[in-house]
Structure 1
């Protein structure tokens, strides 16, 4: 049985779509999943990138595309009242509900749907209070232990080469994005392409031109 680590941030609509689609995308295969929250903004900062919502025209396209993807795959989805928002409280809450840094699928699903269903304000204090009461975390979400966990997840993600979410890791390989789910399935099915040279040789392709920052 293969084990998949699902890296995500609740702020990402693509992470929500991938989370909802994963069971159907991998139906019939033998695998297990652990869910690992990470602050997407920390990855962007490390790599010197802007998020999709920080580029006006890309922001508009992102929202159109994710709503279309949700529609085409039959996934209920509503944009939150404002986006982007600060996801720290939600990430910490999810981590506070676990004893090993990996929230359950139930917890992860509950928080994702808090954000991406109903069209309400994901960061509203009263809604967060109600969500916290519903999940009844074992740890204090704003406590030092939970904050340290989230920081450690970010450091691990960067060390593993993550640059965005969702990212699904299996056997040392990273599959990035909602549209990588079919590729992940083919890998788990044993597609011989993954035993060939293509996966590793792309790392050796020379850089022809590099823009100065």
Structure 2
């Protein structure tokens, strides 16, 4: 009997690319045992001194167009919510309260990017939690253990070098973005993919022109 390779899937339900990647990971049998790990994208960006693509107006328009094209090309039903980006921390806490079960991740992603439901609305979030078998959603997501769980996930992701979502972690190797799925396949077929001389050399390149002047 074949054993599946463990992998962490770091995501925030605000990310349409995470929605797309999750769909493909659920559809395609890559031989992975995937553990969904909800993390707060804003905290990752703050830690690494980054901004999200939606914070640059022309990039935002290009990003949304690319996501819709990728969804159409891959046969994934996608409809952006009326407001995006949106505050996702409560949806993340809901996932933590539900132990980030795969069916809960399915439902939250579908609510946002297939049905356009507003998960910043407390009543809507309460309904969604009820659909997933969770009562007292408001109290549960406000509890210290749920908040601590999301914080711990995010801090652990940062410690592993995760800087954005979606990121798939297989051992110590990170694959950031929906467009890395073909690289994931090649890596699983050849675990020494990153051990070639040229791949190793990439980690030794000099950094020539820093954008930010040293203080």
TM-score (ref. length: structure 1) = 0.91
Q: 1:151, 1:197 → 2: CA distance?
A: 38
What count of residue pairs does the alignment treat as equivalent? 207
Contact 2:186-2:193 within 8 A present in 1 as well: no
Q: Which residue of 1 aligns with 2:107?
A: 110
Q: Which residue of 1 aligns with 2:51?
A: 50
Q: Which residue of 1 aligns with 2:118?
A: 121
Contact 2:11-2:37 within 8 A present in 1 as well: yes
Q: Which residue of 2 aligns with 1:5?
A: 8
Contact 1:10-1:112 within 8 A present in 2 as well: yes
Contact 1:93-1:141 within 8 A present in 2 as well: yes
Match of 1:137 among 134, 138, 141: 134
Contact 1:80-1:122 within 8 A present in 2 as well: no
Q: Which residue of 1 aligns with 2:178?
A: 178
Q: 2:161, 2:174 → 1: CA distance?
A: 8
Contact 1:36-1:153 within 8 A present in 2 as well: yes
Structure 2, unaligned stretches of length 5 or more? Answer: none
Q: Which residue of 2 aligns with 1:95?
A: 96
Quote how far apart the aligned CAs of 1:120 are. 3.5
Q: 1:53, 1:191 → 2: CA distance?
A: 34
Query: 1:204 aligns to what SS in structure 2?
Result: coil
Quote how far apart the aligned CAs of 1:136 are. 2.6
Match of 1:18 among 11, 16, 21: 21
Contact 2:12-2:41 within 8 A present in 1 as well: yes
Q: 1:16, 1:7 → 2: CA distance?
A: 11
TM-aligned CA distance change 1:198 to 1:137, over 3 Å: farther
Contact 1:94-1:107 within 8 A present in 2 as well: yes
Quote how far apart the aligned CAs of 1:192 are. 4.8
Q: 1:210, 1:23 → 2: CA distance?
A: 40
CA RMSD of aligned residues (A): 1.7
Query: 1:152 aligns to what SS in structure 2?
Result: helix
Query: 1:60 aligns to what SS in structure 2?
Result: helix
Q: 2:33, 2:81 → 1: CA distance?
A: 30
Q: Which residue of 1 aligns with 2:202?
A: 202
Quote how far apart the aligned CAs of 1:18 are. 0.2
Aligned positions of 1:17-96 closer than 5 A: 17-25=20-28, 27=29, 29-96=30-97
Once the two structures are overlaid, the 10-residue window that deviates more, 49-58 or 119-128, is 119-128
